[in-house]
Amino acid sequence: MKAAGIIVEYNPFHNGHLYHLQKTKEITGADVVVAVMSGNFIQRGEPAIVNKWARTKMALLNGVDVVFELPFAYACNSAEVFAYGAISILNSLGVNWVVFGSEAGDISLLKKIAMHLAFEEDEFKKYLKIYLKEGHSFPKARELALKRVSKEDIEFLPNNILGVEYIKWILRTNSKIEPLTIKRVGSLYNDPNLGSGSFCSATAIRQNINNLELIRDKMPPFSYQVLMEEIESGRGPVSLNDFFEFFLYRAIVYKDFLKEQFDVKEGLENRFYKHIFSSSSLEDLLSKVKTKRYTLTRLQRILIHCLVDSKVNQKTLLSTKPYIRVLGFNSRGKRYLNSIKEKVKYITKLDSYIMKNPEYNSLLELEIRASQIHALKYKEYHKYLQLEFKQHPIYIPSRE
């Protein structure tokens, strides 16, 4: 079966995602669409508003055929590590295409830039360093360095950056996957405005989560329905602020709670220690700790990794092959999974046998911890602390 891969977060699934999915089917003519999806924490360094099982349901009900998990350690990470994790999984699956939305919508432009990033990393890093030293913020310095190296004029918007990273890893891993891009419609990735049309960003939906009538038009009905069910059952909406108490608790009990944590370098620790007990909210704390180099998103990721006590190392992640875990599938997806089972070792249900497998266990342990922490914010949290072990993949028979 010819498979098209997509890399998604669906936080939550909205009309823009549906457009991306339909276009993917249209331009590839694939037999099956396979999604690699973030779990309970997303790339921006936030908890997903509803958990991965609900978001898998949204994906399947809207026409995705199989959903695989992007492990926590990769999902809640820089664009580079996020992209590496997702492309690795699509490589293992052997999909034919990867189709992603980008602001540019021009695959040859993105490819050119990715080539420079893939094979001229030293030069890129040299300029990155120079621009950082000049006092530019990290995103700005990256943009300037890439422009300098590639001599291309492109706006380095979030989805362009991710797209370039996908292609970079396709090139670096000698992958046979063909990258395709669709121009994003409607608003920008993190535009907080809902606007009047039927498209808006997931950020805008999350920010209006308490005014459900407003967001109803922006989501396919199935997706809205799942979101409602989750909220009514007390399993959401989960937000980063909900975890401030736990972060404080950690800081109370462990004076050096940031030691050896993900992406924390000297100086940052001290700013955290200085302000942690005198900030009125997580937002207030982050605004005090923020610098040009440490953007809000990056700080949020640090905070989440600290909460999970992940102690992951980006270099190690970039030389590890993530596990392949099925979160859900429809009838077509079932046939696809059958067709690949000889050559791909995928996990359908966690058990003690799998947990003991040294190939998977450190990434899976983090995944479980992250999910348990996410669950602590559900109303009846005690029911969901073992969900990762109890839950079977979601199966939704296709209406074919």
* SS3 category, 3: strand
Question: Is 13 annotated as belonging to a binding site?
Answer: yes
Q: Quick one: which of 191, 259, 386, 392 contacts a copy of itself (CB under 8 A)? A: 386
The binder of a copy of itself chosen from 186, 385, 396, 398 (CB under 8 A): 385
| Token pair for 170 | 């396709």
- Calpha distance 114→164 (Å, rounded): 5
| Site membership for a copy of itself, residue 319 (CB under 8 A) | no
Based on CB atoms, which residue is closest to a copy of itself, 119 or 249?
Answer: 249
Both tokens of 160, joined, read: 């362009």
Residue 16, marked binder: yes
By the rule CB under 8 A, 62 interacts with a copy of itself: no
Nearer to a copy of itself, 127 or 246 (CB): 246
Alpha carbon separation from 321 to 88, 201, 317, 359, 364 (Å, rounded): 7, 31, 8, 9, 12
- The minimum distance between CB 40 and a copy of itself, in angstroms, equals 13
382 contributes a contact to a copy of itself by CB under 8 A: yes
Q: Residue 274 Cβ, how far from a copy of itself at the closest point, in Å?
A: 12
How far is Cα 61 from Cα 330, in angstroms, rounded to an integer?
A: 9
Exposure string over 139-156, b if 16+ CB within 10 A, otherwise e: bbbbbbbbebbbeeebeb
Shortest Å distance, C-beta 179 to a copy of itself: 38
Query: Who's near 26: CB < 8 A, 6+ residues apart?
Result: none
The DSSP call for residue 325 is B
Strands of 66-70's sheet, edge to edge? 178-183, 97-102, 3-8, 32-38, 66-70, 326-330, 394-396
Residue 116 annotated as binding site: no
Q: Is 254 annotated as a binding residue?
A: no
Instruction: Identify which range of 26-34, 118-126, 293-301, 303-311 contacts a copy of itself by CB under 8 A.
Output: 303-311
Distance, in Å, from the CA atom of 90 to the CA atom of 86, rounded to the nearest integer, reads 6
C-beta neighbour count of 243 within 10 angstroms: 22
- Smallest separation, CB 317 to a copy of itself (Å): 20
Q: Is 14 annotated as a binding residue?
A: yes
> DSSP 3-state assignment of 98?
strand
Torsion of CA 262, 189, 114, 130, to 10 degrees: -60
Rounded to a whole number of angstroms, the minimum distance from the CB of residue 309 to a copy of itself is: 5
- Alpha-carbon distances, residue 205 vs 47, 146, 214, 262, 276 (angstroms): 14, 32, 9, 29, 30
**Which one, 270 or 281, has the nearer CB to a copy of itself?**
281
Residue 338 touching a copy of itself (CB under 8 A)? no
Is the Cβ of residue 245 or residue 359 nearer to a copy of itself in the bound state? 245
CA atoms within a 13 Å half-sphere pointing along the CA-CB vector of 205:
29
Give the residue with the Cβ less far from a copy of itself, 120 or 245.
245
Should residue 376 be labelled a site residue for a copy of itself when binding is judged by CB under 8 A?
yes
Place of tokens 């999970």: 308
Q: Report how many residues bind a copy of itself under the rule CB under 8 A.
A: 25
The answer to whether 76 touches 297, Cβ cutoff 8 Å, is: no
Smallest distance from the beta carbon of 251 to a copy of itself, in angstroms?
9
Would you count residue 347 as binding a copy of itself (CB under 8 A)? no
Site for a copy of itself in 109-168 (CB under 8 A): none
Q: Which two tokens stand for residue 79?
A: 């664009």
What token pair was written down for 130? 């120079």
Query: What are the tokens at 338?
Result: 């059958």
- Assess contact for 148 and 62: CB atoms under 8 A: no
Cβ nearer to a copy of itself, comparing 120 with 283: 283
- Shorter beta-carbon distance to a copy of itself: residue 250 or 290: 250
20 vs 250 by CB, closer to a copy of itself = 250
Nearer to a copy of itself, 131 or 378 (CB): 378
Provide the minimum distance between the beta carbon of 281 and a copy of itself in the complex, in angstroms, as a whole number.
Answer: 7
In the range 355-374, which residues lie near a copy of itself by CB under 8 A? Answer: 369, 372-373
Restricted to residues 242-301, the positions that interact with a copy of itself (CB under 8 A) are 245-246, 248-250, 252-254, 277-281
Q: Locate the DSSP E strands across 9-93.
A: 32-38, 41-42, 46-47, 66-70
Integer Cα distance of 115 and 145 in angstroms: 14
Q: Where along the sequence are the contacts to a copy of itself (CB under 8 A)?
A: 245-246, 248-250, 252-254, 277-281, 307-309, 369, 372-373, 376, 381-383, 385-386
Binding-site residues sit at 7-20, 101, 159, 184
Binding-site residues for ATP sit at 7-20, 101, 159, 184
